[in-house]
Amino acid sequence: MTDTATSVTTTPANTPDEERQSPPPKRSYAKLAADESREDYSLRYAPHSFRRWSPSMVAGTALGGIAYLADFAIGASIVFTYGFTSGLASILTAAVIIFLTGIPIARACAKYGLDMDLVTRGAGFGYFGSTLTSLIYASFTFIFFALEGSIMAQAMHQAVGLPVEIGYLLTTLVVIPIVFKGMGALAKVQAWTQPVWIIGMVLPFVVLAFEVPDAWGAFGSFGGTEGAGAGLSWIGFGLGTGVALSLIAQIGEQADYLRFMPAKTEANKRRWNLAVLAAGPGWVIIGAAKQLGGAFLAFVALEAVGKTHALEPIAPQIEALKPWLGSVALPAAALFVIVSQIKINVTNAYSGSLSWSNFFSRITHKHPGRVWYIFLNLAIALTLMEMNMFAALGKLLGFYSNVGIAWIAAVAADLVINKRIGLSPKYIEFKRAYLYAVNPAGFGAMMIASTVSILAFFGLFGRYAEAFSTFIAAGLALVLCPLIAWATKGKYYLARPNPVNGPEVEIEDITATHECAVCETAYELPDIADCPVQSGPICSLCCSLDSECGDVCRKDPASGPVLMPVPTMPKAVAKAGSAVVSAVVPEVGPEVVPEAPSPGA
């Protein structure tokens, strides 16, 4: 199934010797946009026919993307700045918040086959309201690509003396061929590199356990390098949690994999639930352990390499391996860092291309293909690396987390509260044809929460409000989303009912297809809307890219019903249906047995 549309030659029955060419489709996509082996349904629902991976395969690929060493740098930065006790409390608190907000989002993405942007649309933000969150998410991917790329460039500089400026360029270029090929290539890279990554991750801690067994005890009383002290500081706890919460948008990258989870069935529900939990919010369990582990390695290496280099993951890695590997410690550590950073940066680049695609398709009504936005995302990331963003790590991540958590908390509030008490539809509606441009429930909650928390972050409300600005963002978003939905009586979730696959519609098989009246390609029912302008079915992407329809379906939903054809059933279902009819009416000849309708029926 692709977005490409090709002309079909037909020969009318009454003129067998005359060949006529049917008119071309009203829209045909560029070659790169039409190739779903690269495009991966970047702007639409992932159909069941494309979700060919097992739950464990999807989970393994998703978890492979959290190999990044930014956790090491973030954890070390928090503990060095605020001391061990405050740092530990910060990291664990942030992990709990990220885990709890990630559960409903992960389940929604896996259940409905949608990425984070499409879920956001239907979870309280509206069609254009989620455009802003696409930018927030895109910024997450290029900020962390730059951070991970900087770590990789530092490793290459340590290993072979390569200037970091050239290293930044190489770290950017090396991921392009992999990301260009899409989910299939990413899955292979994550699987092939996993053994090397696991060995490199565990070995330094094994070495230190034998060589400096008392180091953990000393680490527990570490007061930081800024004079914070070993005890709990509420200011340090709040600020450290804010830095750790900058990773909350990682659930979006996990969702980019989770949307390919196969359908949940009685046979696989246990494995499905476990895989979604592990690959969705479960990433933060490993992430929090890595933050503490990275802080520990930096603490052990502090005296040998100094504070600046201790915050760069490559130097503590080398120092930890030296007692056992000697001169081989440097190349071994460099290999581990490079493998880790490639594993995460292919994910950052891939997710960024999806987010930019979603953003520009709504703004420009054009879609040249996901792969072109890889270059935009990487260009921004490369610029940040050349500007040495690593030096301003704590402040940058602390600011970003105020926006990120307001967004994620608002979406989680809609999924957990609004949908359960009937303030929003029970399903995720993502198609333009059925959504208001902006839904104040989620979008308004995010805007208010992030604005107030950013003002607090810059000290407008005092020192404690500055330290706990991310808690302000999360609390306001969680309260305001259901409050606004209640005040507006849920009016702005649906501009009109969905007669194709809405909850009131009885559907025999969700994998049945309609042929889009614009691109003339068949798509499964969740990706189809009824279009009064086209007088028939339209796929979600053609609907998004239409710049001339005037949103008639939303602005005048009472203009009249759209006569939709009977959907085409999957071959297996169609054959089963024909067999049943033949058994019930055996005297009827085969020529009058009902057949599965054609796409244009």
Window from 19-23, 273-277, 419-423 with minimum mean pLDDT: 19-23
Cβ atoms 370, 351 nearer than 8 A: no
- Contact status, residue 270 vs residue 161, Cβ threshold 8 Å: no
284-296 burial, b for 16+ CB within 10 Å, e for fewer? Answer: bebbbebbbbbbb
The reported pLDDT for the residue numbered 572 is: 52
Task: State which H helix or E strand residue 539 sits in.
Answer: strand 536-539
> What is the pLDDT at residue 226?
87
**How sure is the predictor about 579, in pLDDT bands with cuts at 50, 70 and 90?**
very low
Q: Is 587 exposed, middle or buried (0-12, 13-18, 19+ CB in 10 A)?
A: exposed
pLDDT at 8: 36
Q: Which residues of 223-239 are buried (b: 16+ CB within 10 A; e: fewer)?
A: bbbeebbeeebeebbbb
- Summarised one tens digit per residue, pLDDT across range 40-93 is 676 789 898 888 888 998 888 888 778 888 899 999 999 999 999 999 999 999
**91-112 pLDDT per residue, tens:** 999 999 999 999 999 999 999 9
468-508 pLDDT, tens per residue?
999 999 999 999 999 999 999 999 999 999 999 998 888 88
Which pLDDT score, from 0 to 100, does residue 11 have? 39
Whole-number pLDDT of residue 12: 41
CB 568 within 8 A of CB 513: yes
pLDDT (tens digit per residue) in 481-492: 999 999 999 999
105, 109, 115, 120: CA torsion to nearest 10: -50
Q: What is the mean pLDDT of the chain?
A: 85
Residue 203 contacts residue 321 (beta carbons within 8 Å): yes
Question: Could you tell me the pTM of the whole model?
Answer: 0.85
Nearest-angstrom CA–CA distance, 441 and 60? 35
CA nearest neighbour of 473 among 242, 137, 237: 242
Phi-psi region of 227 (alpha: psi -120 to 50; beta: other; left: phi over 0): left
Q: What is the pLDDT of residues 145-190, one digit of tens each?
A: 998 898 899 899 988 999 999 999 999 999 999 998 887 888 888 8
Mean pLDDT for 545-562 is 79
Triad 456, 457, 458: Cα angle to 5°: 90
User: Quick one: pLDDT band at residue 401, thresholds 50, 70, 90?
Assistant: confident
Q: Is 528 helix (H, G, I), strand (E, B) or coil?
A: strand
d(CA 218, CA 580): 75
- Retrieve residue 288's tokens: 């929090």
Which pLDDT score, from 0 to 100, does residue 553 have? 87
